Amino acid sequence: MKKKHQIKSQHCLKHIDKLREVLQEPRLYDFLAHRYSHYEILERCGKIYPVAILDKTIRRITYRDPIVMAPEKWSLETGGFIIRDPAYRIFREFTGDSIIPDETYRMVNIRQTEHGVIIRCDIGRYDLMLDTCDCLEWEILKVLSETSYWQAMSFEALFKRLELRKYLHAHIKDPLMNGTGRSAAIAVSVLTSFFNKEDQGFLLGYKSTKGLNAGQMHAIPSFMFQPEQGYRNEEFCLLHNVRREFLEELFGIKAPKDASYRWFFQHKPVQYLDKMIEAGEAELWLTGVVVNLMNLRPEICMLLRIKTPRWYAIHSSAHAGQDEYVRVNEEFATIHECKGSSKESVPGKFDSDAELFHSASLNPGDIVPPGAAAFWLGIDALRKLP
């Protein structure tokens, strides 16, 4: 039995290597850009990222930010989905990933207003997200990896082979703006900008989690917008989620069992972050709302702008306490500090896009789509902010 399991594991590893090879093919991104060409598609340095940009509003994040809207009464849908395929979730579980059915906030729909977009929300679940959204990413990579001549096919012929995506579009007019029939979980990606003495850096990390994105870069912190402790109303706050994940992902501190939703308030890194924000030494900005075209899930992009070199000096010092030293949690294999040449005394003067692209190795196949969006929209914001 053990030998059979080893053989199956080796087969899975070979299979996922083929899927990841597809991620390196520019024609994949050309196809998605063509399919969703009625939206602005993220493009830098001649590279297309599978990201549709819905909004590029730059403004400070407030405690009860109007970009997300809660329902009058929470409703968790567990059935009646337009598309549902457990293949990707089963694959993740087989490779040793623990899929916990945690609640997430999901997108009901997105409305454009004169002040920016508003995301109407309700409650979803992580496992249902995999079955009704991330199945689309699994499908496109699997179909293309099994079709030897796909690069020679027309975009229309490619689309016809994607049964789940085709069926979704046939029943929902615009699934980028409408989450009906799916558990379209909302995620958040934050570009953290800081100073190491006079040099400005940006925190990216290589994903260590199992699945299609293992080994790809992402912004830190990046997370599901969710009621982690089960307090749906109290945790329905972007600032609350950012502060919690800031502690979890940058300092490797987990919530204790049966914790209050305020469990992280007492930790020194969060208290110091709060003091910096109050003193104007750190700022949290909304930089955009995008949709990942691989899985058609919405992502809120932000910039955590830490303006004082003291933050990095304190948290990288050998004298920092065990819970105060910057170290990523198990979601990331390693941390990558992308360095720009900007000086603290010259805000907004960064390397060119090309220099940043090569500094961070930002090929579309090497970074998850929302990570690329958070990075480039965050850079755009830094260039505009005083």
Q: Check if the beta carbon of residue 127 is closer than 8 Å to that of residue 281.
A: no
pTM to 2 decimal places: 0.92
Give the model's confidence band at 13: pLDDT under 50 very low, under 70 low, under 90 confident, else very high. Answer: low
Q: Check if the beta carbon of residue 301 is closer than 8 Å to that of residue 288.
A: yes
Pairing of strands 187-196, 297-306: parallel
Give the model's confidence band at 102: pLDDT under 50 very low, under 70 low, under 90 confident, else very high. Answer: very high
Model confidence pLDDT, tens digit, residues 34-90? 999 999 999 999 999 999 999 999 999 988 899 999 999 999 999 999 999 999 999
Note the pLDDT of residue 380.
96
Give the model's confidence band at 213: pLDDT under 50 very low, under 70 low, under 90 confident, else very high. Answer: confident
d(CA 355, CA 366): 17
The ranges assigned to domains in the chain are 2-41+73-171, 187-384
Q: How is 25-89 classified by DSSP, letter by letter?
A: -HHHHHHHHHHTTTSEEEEETTEEEEEEEEE---EE--TT-TTEE--SS--B--S--S----HHH
Q: Check if the beta carbon of residue 337 is closer than 8 Å to that of residue 327.
A: no
218-256 b/e (C-beta count within 10 Å ≥ 16 → b): bbbbbbbbbbbbeebeebbbbbbbbbbbbbbbbbbbeee
What mean pLDDT do residues 239-255 have? 94
Model confidence pLDDT, tens digit, residues 307-323? 999 999 998 876 566 66
Q: Is residue 211 over pLDDT 80?
A: no
- Give the closest residue to 282 by CA, choosing from 353, 374, 190: 190
Q: Check if the beta carbon of residue 303 is closer than 8 Å to that of residue 183.
A: no
Q: Which long-range contacts (CB under 8 A, 24 or more apart) does 71-77 make?
A: 71/108, 71/120, 71/121, 71/122, 74/122, 74/123, 74/232, 75/122, 75/123, 76/103, 76/122, 76/123, 76/124, 76/125, 77/122, 77/124, 77/128, 77/183
Three-class SS state of 209: coil
Three-class SS state of 163: helix
Q: Which one has a higher pLDDT value, 335 or 181?
A: 181
CATH 3.40.50.740, domain 187-384, yes or no: no
Task: State the average pLDDT for the chain.
Answer: 89
d(CA 72, CA 66): 15
